Amino acid sequence: MTQANSLARLVSRIAYDGRLTVTHISLYMGLLVLWQESGCLTPFRISRLDLMAISKIGSIATYHKRLKELISFGYVRYQPSYHPTKASNAELLTGN
């Protein structure tokens, strides 16, 4: 997935997905930033603290709720590390 194609698909999906809120979009944009910083690797490493800061999300509960929803809506694949100092893995999904 190229950066331009990923963003174009995301914008198209968001326009017609009534389930998404501003917080979902902010979180996904944060994921896009981290994906780009990783050199567009799939999967790429993420940490909650970094992603919350980039996405401007202040509540851990909101972060977890919105990430869980992005996963269930088919926008993200996520593999938690369950380790306090190791980053988790994420993958952006741009399919239908």
The whole-number pLDDT of residue 84 equals 79
The whole-number pLDDT of residue 62 equals 98
Ranges under pLDDT 50 in the chain: none
The whole-number pLDDT of residue 34 equals 95
**Separation of alpha carbons 96 and 61, rounded Å:** 28
DSSP 18: T
Domain containing 73 — which CATH number? 1.10.10
The domain in which residue 7 lies consists of 3-92
- Mapped onto helix, strand or coil, the DSSP state of residue 75 is coil
The whole-number pLDDT of residue 83 equals 85
Q: How many structural domains is the chain composed of?
A: 1
17: CB partners within 8 A, 6+ apart: 73
pTM of the model: 0.86
